[in-house]
A and B are shown apart, each in its own frame.
Chain A
Amino acid sequence: EAQVTQNPRYLITVTGKKLTVTCSQNMNHEYMSWYRQDPGLGLRQIYYSMNVEVTDKGDVPEGYKVSRKEKRNFPLILESPSPNQTSLYFCASSVGQSNTEAFFGQGTRLTVV
């Protein structure tokens, strides 16, 4: 089954404790991205990757890092999480064409206390 898998689904952590949210897709998609969803703001892009070893900042990259060492994986790293990073996070992938739809993971609800 074609899918985007995120882990964990839920995470509660403390301020400053480094964490990684994993994302993996099995569709051989070139393009992957991370979004955060906050009430009233919709989805805002954090980082995206056009292909292996190619990443770039989205609209809200501060406090986040990503890497793309393999085509299927695109982890999101929070080196020192803060409470304002409490949010619902989504990973998405698509074929590397602008007219193709994105496939989304089921989301990771992160709470930073």
Chain B
Amino acid sequence: AQSVAQPEDQVNVAEGNPLTVKCTYSVSGNPYLFWYVQYPNRGLQFLLKYITGDNLVKGSYGFEAEFNKSQTSFHLKKPSALVSDSALYFCAVRDLRGNDMRFGAGTRLTVKP
């Protein structure tokens, strides 16, 4: 069965600095990988996904993620963090059958002014 690990519970960065939120996955075969963001008292919002093709995926709000097959990673990145990026971020993986989207435990990103 597929699984996702987000090794950091919390990531703190200063506004204007680059940010990285880490994600590693385990799946049989080719993965479909997703990043979602959750703001307080809201549901999860889709940011970006990797299906196939270019390893660097661009998504909403200036976020991007890099798929690395050899390291089984899908780290979320942004060149310049904003205070408004502060939220809870989830990585998720789906296998080819698509029945079950598995989520990581989440990483709380705090961007300080």
Assess the A42–B43 pair: CB atoms within 8 A. no
Assess the A104–B43 pair: CB atoms within 8 A. yes
Query: Does B67 count as interface, using CB distance less than 8 angstroms?
Result: no
Chain B interface residue bracket vs A: 20 to 34
Contact of A104 among B41, B45, B94, B102 (CB under 8 A): B45
Give every chain B residue within 8 A of A42 (Cβ-Cβ).
6, 90, 103-106
Binds B, one of A62-70, A72-80, A95-103: A95-103
Query: Does B96 count as interface, using CB distance less than 8 angstroms?
Result: yes
On whether A99 and B99 interact (CB within 8 A), knowing A4-B43, A104-B44, A106-B43, the answer reads no
Give every chain B residue within 8 A of A48 (Cβ-Cβ).
99-100
- Max chain A C-beta neighbours (<10 A), residue from B6, B46, B101, B105: B101
Contact of B46 among A45, A56, A58, A101 (CB under 8 A): A101
Assess the B43–A105 pair: CB atoms within 8 A. yes
Q: Which residue of B lies closest to A91 (CB)?
A: B43
**Interface residue count for A (Cβ, 8 Å)?**
28
Give every chain B residue within 8 A of A105 (Cβ-Cβ).
43
CB distance from B49 to the nearest CB of A (A): 6
Assess the B43–A90 pair: CB atoms within 8 A. yes
CB distance from A47 to the nearest CB of B (A): 11
Query: Does B98 count as interface, using CB distance less than 8 angstroms?
Result: yes
Q: Which residue of B lies closest to A90 (CB)?
A: B43
In whole angstroms, what is the CA distance A101 to B101 when docked? 10
Give every chain B residue within 8 A of A35 (Cβ-Cβ).
103
In whole angstroms, what is the CA distance A103 to B98 when docked? 15
- A interface residues (Cβ-Cβ under 8 A, vs B): 4, 31, 33, 35, 40-45, 48, 50, 56, 58-59, 90, 92, 96-99, 101-107
A–B Cβ pairs within 8 angstroms, 27 of them: A31-B98, A33-B101, A35-B103, A40-B9, A40-B105, A42-B104, A43-B44, A43-B90, A44-B103, A45-B100, A45-B101, A45-B102, A48-B100, A50-B99, A56-B99, A90-B44, A98-B32, A98-B94, A99-B32, A99-B51, A99-B94, A99-B98, A101-B49, A104-B43, A104-B44, A105-B43, A106-B43
